[in-house]
Chain A
Amino acid sequence: MEKILQVKDLELSFNTFAGEVKAIRGVNFDLYKGETLAIVGESGSGKSVTTKSIMRLLPEHSAEFKNGEILFGGRDLTKLSDKEMQKIRGKEIAMIFQDPMTSLNPTMPIGRQLTEPLLKHQKISKAEAKKVAIDLLRLVGMPKPELRMKQYPHQFSGGQRQRIVIAISLACNPQILIADEPTTALDVTIQAQILELMKDLQKKIDTSIIFITHDLGVVANVADRVAVMYGGKIVEIGTVDEIFYNPQHPYTWGLLSSMPSLDAADEKLYAIPGTPPDLLSPPKGDAFALRSEYALQIDMEQNPPFFKVSETHYAATWLLHPDAPRVEPPATVIERMKKFPGSRYYEGSRV
């Protein structure tokens, strides 16, 4: 498959009054054409910072690229000037933000907000842009688009506003669409509609999507591949089946066990103890070791490298080292592994 974006050894810090916050500490991943890559992790894990650094939306006075590169179409995005970046933003890489209530301009009719990227990036007339904008609204399922063009954001519901934001982001047929928690602020029924819409549109225009969320249900729904982030690093990356049915990193185990399942009995919910690491002074070894009951001595001292589980599946945990002791994952995770051919708990044909 064709790689459309490559993030290599990315390190980024924020310079604050308290000192240097190492928000991203060596992130590597590739994005393929037409796929959806989900990035999961809790607040402060660096998932939003990673995507904002791709879009170069971080404040330049405090955010600093320490190392690494972001390759897109043969260029390193970390080195581009503001002018060059402006040609990419909204045209080749577009972004949908979390909160549909604040990402639209309240003083501008939505028609003007829709035609803005078109007029900026494409050489077309206002009348043509208006036509395209109406088509876009129709594409995202907005009834009576001609009338709606003249209305202001407050005249739309949350779900409708998110549809408009999606329409704006798709205006120039971007090669990459970054969606930062696009459905977190929405109700489940609306969320389901928006996710279906995004999948349909992806099929139509073959965009690659980076989808950031902390809702594992949404990940299972949209993702082809999943990257799990913790403490400014990717700790596990694989196809959606590999992450959900054959997870290897204790943090992924913790995440999967802390979600109540709808058919589970009333046992106590597994809660990952403690709080995320302070990235002002990141821990020496595995950042998750302090919260993990599976931590080995070496986790406290040395940062684990990526171990290969399969061609598509990698996890950064010392538990995968040939010399590591064999540990039993939590019961709910074993249940999941039973369904996965290739895991050591596999129990024959899948149900």
Chain B
Amino acid sequence: MSINRTNACGTQPYDQTYSLGYQVHHEDWSPFPRVNYLRQKFLDRQYYIDVERLRLVTEAYKKHEAAPSKLKCAYAFENILLNVTLHIYEQDLILGEIAAPAKAAPIYPEFSVNWIIDEILNSPFEERAHDQFYIRNDEERKEIVELCRYWQGKTVEDLINSRLEEDQIKGSQLGKRIFQTNLYHYAGVGHLVIDYAKLMEVGYDGMIEDAKKRYEKLDKKDPEYGDKRDFYLSMIIMHEAAKKYIERYAKLAEEYAEKEEDAKRKEELKTMAINCHQIAGGAPKTFWQALQLFNFATTLIQIESNGHSISYGRMDQWLYPFYEKDIKNGTITKEFALELLEVLYVKMNNPTKLKDKGTVLVRNGRGFGGESLTIGGVDRNGNDATNDLTMLMLEASAHTRMMNPWVCVRMHENTPYELKVKTVECIRAGYGHPKIFNDAPAIKAMMRKGMTLEEARDYAVVGCVEIDLPGKEFGWHDAAYVNTPKMMEMVVNGGRCLDCGPHCGRWERCGAIGSQLGPNTGSLETYKSFDEVLESVDKQFDYWCDQMCSSLNIIDNAHRTLKPTPYVSAFYEDCLESGKDLTEGGAKYNGIGPQASGLGTCADSLATIKQLMFDEKRYTGLQLLQAVKDNWEGHEKIYALVNSSKVHHYGNDDDYADELFKYMFECYCRHINGRKTPRGGEYSPGVYSVNANVAMGLNTNASLDGRKAYEAISDNMGPVHTDAGSHDISGPTAIVNSLTKVDHSLATNGTLMNLRFPEDAVSGIEGRDNLISLIDEIIAKNAMHVQFNIMSAKTMRAAQKKPEDYKDMLVRVAGYSAYFVELGKPLQKDLIQRTELHF
């Protein structure tokens, strides 16, 4: 096998070892005292709710009640940027927050307010079991409730609620939770990467000039003239406001510099002021200015909307020209470039999002979440794109070890050895980053979405594992989570929940009137062959995907009607060209990506049915059905058997069960792929669950894989682990082989593979080299994504016992890492139960 090499390097040798797993009481990972200081400051700061954005947005909406939506959004945005309090933090080198102090969550009443009022009055944010937030005082508490009341009946949520019908509601989070569309039902969409390269080239002035030209060319004969004019006008108001906002920061930095007594800090503040003056309208001239513009441009997207997963694209690529120039001119040293990156990394953690208690169950964590930073991979011509920044961005990651950014290394068959070593050194330091993406299947998936090869090669990761084309795609990634084991309940029990009865909140509208939740497509009592079971699965999927996607279309439409996003749309060439907002389908690619959860649970359930009921005829359908109806009580023999190695289980490189996983995977993809979205694009299926598998399990009765009611369903692409034990018992190569028997590129919205090793399994040079070999083979086997937790169950249990010693211990949850001790107990348990692998 040939080994590719690179000259690209950071400040340290490529094979620098960082640490093996989490280290208690280690707080100075960075060589820069400033970075360690900023990091500690961040960790020590409390999470607050901030009222200012709510106040300013409400004021603007009240003033412009009759204005069209886009302009309302523009005036509100302008009002915020001209009036919001600005912050400059000690020792910081990059300016700009999200219209709230660091780590404080603004409120976005445009999307939803009912839950905010409800939670403040009835289940205070301060008293949550996890993801607590604090309100500064009772006056602000009162003000928030009062301002939110103005919005009742006017929000995106209200519009959606008024349009959903019973059949759509009954399976959603408002009903029995077969699918959960809450993310965009109650908040912004986000999940995008803007064209940073263009912004860096032209600056805000260039953006505005471009828009003005197109505005002037508008044709009054165009029936959409009014809509397009609104778009250009809004966008211009917003980008002009951005310039003024940055100028405000320049002025403030000057004031700080004036007062500063320390000569070195004075100079830094002066430079920061100069940086802001330069990029307020113009293009950045230096690496530092490029980072500064990046931070403003990005945080402004988060001021416009609270959609999460605003990702940074291929940052080592679009930033490189500035680095290269500064290094050549001697403007900066590699070390200072690294320090700036590390300061920025810490800062990327500041944006904080208040989520409703239901969403928090699905998506634990108080950050916005999903800020993926993509490095490595091939360029548009298919050549390896590794450069110094690729290496520096990994060093910065190992030196900061925080939730953000979610560093993602793209790999391919020619990825240089040095980059692999550096990546693996970061992975085995055990802080949950980086994740690895595989170019071949990802590019294939992008092309399935209709992109050209050159476009496809330019993909960047958004959020957990979604692949996206910067500046061209509005993919509505992460649109919904599908609880496939709950669908399986309908399959085994004639379209009814296993526990159907008067205790159910929907009984009066459902069972009591002789109705049932889903269509009756047969039950274990009636199936004559296994093919009939599979046919039933197919029919249930068709029915529930219809309900889910038609709901998502209504949600999509509500955003278009009430909350367009002209500021961020302007960074999309096709939006500028067409005069259409992103919410109106202005981007070139306009997908919607809902994710399947629990396919492993379904696969093992099918294996039980196929093997015990049809092949071996050991039990009848009725016996199996009764066992899950009784939550296995009184059926201990069957329970033990389906959890034993005598029944085929997915994840052991056993074709019997792996074929069933394949059936489930393809069935889900088939029912999602190709559906049309309201924005003129196509639906795009993903197979990952983030941590929704835990919450979904809480809503799901016992399943035939040997899972008891309310236990977590299987996570992501992974095999089953029930309270009785893990079903994957054949080691990591078997898991990888099982997971790669399906064509990952069919899941165009991403797949997710988790592998967990205890620290000592990857120790020493041999441990490092084995991990590299494992990754190489995963790449060769065409898995789209893989991520590692280097953390033993023992370490996690120790953290549960003494959380105060493990405050900054990050654990890989899904596409993201989170502070372990801040996670809910059920999720902690799920992470501990996920199979620990050994070499």
Q: Do A and B bind each other?
A: no
